[in-house]
Chains A and B, each alone.
Chain A
Amino acid sequence: MHVVVITKSVPDTEATVTVDGSGNVSWGDKLVINPWDEYAITEAILLKGAHNVTATIMTIGPDEHKEALKHGLAIGCDQAIQVWDAALEGHDSLAYATAAAAAINKLGDVDLVIFGKELSDIASDIHVFQTARKLGWTALGSVAKIDAIDFGAKTIQVQRLVEQGIQVVTSQLPAVISVIKDINEPKYPTFIGIRKAAKADMPLWDSAELGLSADDLAAPVKVTGYRELPKREGAVQMIDGASAAEQAATLADKLLEEKVL
């Protein structure tokens, strides 16, 4: 029984992102774990507590992502694996998914892969579904709760947050899920975990290790630049009126006029 969380370091959500004239982005120098992944790791640790599974934390990325791996170990994951290869430099989500799926297959005994809902830096979750597709496993996005999981019978039942409400889904294991904030209260690192993480040996799996060629990892999609959006001009208007009701009516009129409503 084996649960894998796939994580990444991202710029601090409080960092100021700047784009210079030639489209180079600077994110600030402080990296944190992708905030959504804290829920993914916590869920893996909860499963570990309830079902005695092995929890592995994995990243597909260069050394700066080891911080996210250490964070996972500090919260309680059993082992950490870094997947990276020079061929992945400038990778897109498909190349990422290829590498992730190969690493999951290399582990061999994985029942469940957990991702955070999305990557907070690029606001994308496509890698989640592409990884599932590459593995040929079910993908369940936006999971708000794992109702039941049976590692013996290889079944899972989850609640997914969909636009209309909550959808209850059952599926076979192995599966890939992505989790949202409702699923748990993120655990903090523990001093025991930190001690372990500080000394941890984190194997690096490159393309040879994964049995992949440079072609397998070539990225069909290339990001060619970033631009800053034109600054929005804001203005403040105070709404007068004898009563709150009158002010509200004026406000509603103005919003309708501006086609905001």
Chain B
Amino acid sequence: MDFTLNDEQRMYQDAVRNFCEREIAPFAAEIDKSGQLRMDAIAKMPDLGLTGLQVPEEYGGADLDSICTAIAMEELGAVCGSTGLSVEAHNELCCLPIVKWGTDEQKQRFLPRLTSGEVLGSLALTEPDAGSDLTGTQTRAVKDGSEWVINGSKAWITNASLAPVIVTLVKTQPDAGSAGFSQMLIETDRAGLEIAPPEKKMGTCASPAHVLTFTDVRVPVENLLGQEGRGLHQTLATLDSGRIAVGALCVGLARAAFQHALAYTQERQAFGQRLVDHQAIQFKLADAATQIEAARLLVYRAAWAKDRGEKYTRLASMAKLFASEIVESIAFEAIQIHGGYGYSREFPLERIYRDQRVMSIGEGTSEINRIVIARQLLAN
């Protein structure tokens, strides 16, 4: 067993950290207020592979391993939850299914644009009346000659307003149970697709999430992604990979909260001592450092299993579940350590606290991830 990053992974970590510190961190508070992602920073990402982490190089991607992907996500999470979430959704939820199930023609058609840094991709699963239970998906696609006609609506769709194409889960055969769903590539300039203004959210405020309405949207049959009837299966596999990345974002957010707290405890005085000299405060720091280490190990463990081609559904859910729960408590304690200043919009902790909150909801709630883990345990 070897817990060290190889040369390439270590250099990649340094390079992404440096990029994030210069291009993203200085603007994180500003974009949280304005609600606008900084597309200038996204435009600089392709050279570092951040817009095509696991996309083959021939389509403008970097073809990196899952450890490097986790590294990139941790670094993004550490500086800006909004940018992290949008780049995560782009890579994991849009690029990956196209890489995995797209035909050569579909890859040619969509991936070079998606990796260009000018856009971010999107995946639409959730509906106003169906979230965790994807078999409740109502958005319907009906074949009409050489086209699919799509009707329905989706909710909370990250990046939709920035995307050239949305991978969309639709029902293609109503009476076929879990085999009645398919993934459809729907370009955002198709007539009949309406993208509502971004939701007003608690956190990740610059990462836009939208309601989508499909009214007789027509796409050619060539836009079916993967196999007809395998949409649910493809979606669950997509989420497996995404969960590792969300876990990594959480590690980044937790690390940032911890570092702020660690620094502050060495400056602030109370009762004639620095905060850090109070043992009760040291315990908080020790717990946080331990949790971050454990979460990162789980994330790397899942990424490692994925790269080795092993089954990693259970590990990915564990990584996401654990990391999204420890980041909540670490952000909470970091605010606690800052006292009143922790509650101020002038300091980054308040933003980190809001940004991390979605991590135990999106891409499988904590409850759903517990169900996934338990099912895997009971299956054996």
**Which has the most chain B C-beta neighbours within 10 Å: A192, A194, A199?**
A194
Most A Cβ at <10 Å: residue of B11, B19, B62: B11
The answer for the CA separation of A74 and B18 in the assembled complex, in Å, is 13
Interface assignment of A198: CB less than 8 Å from any CB of chain B: yes
Chain A residues near B8 (CB-CB < 8 A):
194-195, 198-199
A162 to B15, CA, bound (A): 33
| B42 smallest CB distance to A (angstroms) | 14
A70 in the interface (beta carbon within 8 A): yes
Assess A70 versus B11: contact at CB under 8 Å? Given A188-B18, A188-B19.
yes
A198 touching B11, Cβ below 8 Å:
yes
Which A184-206 residues have C-beta < 8 A from chain B? 187-192, 194-195, 197-199
Cα–Cα distance between A115 and B11 once the two chains are bound (Å) = 23
B8's nearest neighbour on chain A, judged by CB, is A198
User: Complex Cα distance A194/B12, Å?
Assistant: 7
Report chain A residues within 8 Å CB of B357: none
Fill in one digit per residue for A84-123: 1 if any B CB lies within 8 Å of its CB, else 0.
0000000000000000000000000000000000000000
A194 vs B72: C-alpha distance when bound (angstroms): 14
A188, B18: Cα distance in complex, Å: 8
Q: Which 7 A-B pairs have the closest CB atoms?
A: A198-B8, A191-B49, A189-B15, A198-B7, A191-B62, A190-B47, A194-B11
Which listed residue (B6, B7, B15, B62) contacts A188, Cβ 8 A? B15
Determine whether B230 belongs to the interface, using a CB cutoff of 8 Å to chain A.
no
A-to-B contact residues, CB < 8 Å: 70, 74, 187-192, 194-195, 197-199
Give every chain A residue within 8 A of B48 (Cβ-Cβ): 188-191
Q: How many angstroms from the CA of A242 to the CA of B11 in the assembled complex?
A: 57
B44 within 8 A of A: yes
Beta-carbon nearest neighbor of A196 in chain B = B8
Rounded to whole angstroms, the CA-CA distance of A192 and B15 in the bound complex is 12
Total number of residue pairs linking A and B with CB closer than 8 Å: 35
Answer yes or no: B64 CB below 8 A from chain A CBs. Answer: yes
Q: Mark B29-66, 1 if CB is under 8 A from A, else 0.
A: 00000000000000010011100000000000010100
Provide the bound-state CA to CA distance between A74 and B11, in Å. 9
User: Would you call B11 and A188 a contact (CB within 8 A)?
Assistant: no
Residue of A190, A191, A197 most packed against chain B (CB within 10 A): A191
A188 and B15 alpha carbons, distance in the complex (Å):
7
CA–CA, A74 to B49, complex, Å?
A: 13
**Besides A190-B47, A191-B64, 17 other A-B contacts (C-beta < 8 A):** A74-B11, A74-B15, A187-B47, A188-B18, A188-B19, A188-B44, A188-B47, A191-B47, A191-B48, A191-B49, A194-B8, A194-B15, A195-B8, A197-B7, A198-B6, A198-B7, A198-B11
B interface residues, tally (CB under 8 Å): 14
Which chain B residues lie closer than 8 Å to A197 at the CB level?
7, 11
* A191 & B44 in contact (Cβ 8 Å cutoff): no
* Across-interface contacts of A194 in B (CB, < 8 A): 8, 11-12, 15
A6 CB, nearest partner CB in chain B, Å:
21
Q: How far is the CA of A198 from the CA of B47 in the complex (A)?
A: 16
Taking CB atoms, residues of chain B closer than 8 Å to A190 are: 47-49
Closest to B47 in A: A190
CA distance A188 to B117 in the complex (A): 15
Closest to A194 in B: B11
Q: How far is the CA of A198 from the CA of B49 in the complex (A)?
A: 16
User: How distant is the Cα of A195 from the Cα of B15 in the complex, in angstroms?
Assistant: 12
A41 to chain B minimum Cβ distance, whole angstroms, is 13
- Provide 9 A-B residue pairs closer than 8 Å at the C-beta atoms, listed in order of the A residue: A70-B11, A74-B11, A188-B48, A191-B47, A191-B62, A191-B64, A192-B62, A194-B15, A198-B6
Q: Which residues of B181-238 are within 8 A (CB) of A?
A: none
A70 CA to B14 CA, complexed, in Å: 12
User: How distant is A13 from chain B, measured CB to nearest CB, in Å?
Assistant: 13
| A70 closest partner in B (C-beta) | B11
Closest A residue by C-beta to B50: A191
- Interchain nearest-CB distance for A32 vs B (Å): 9
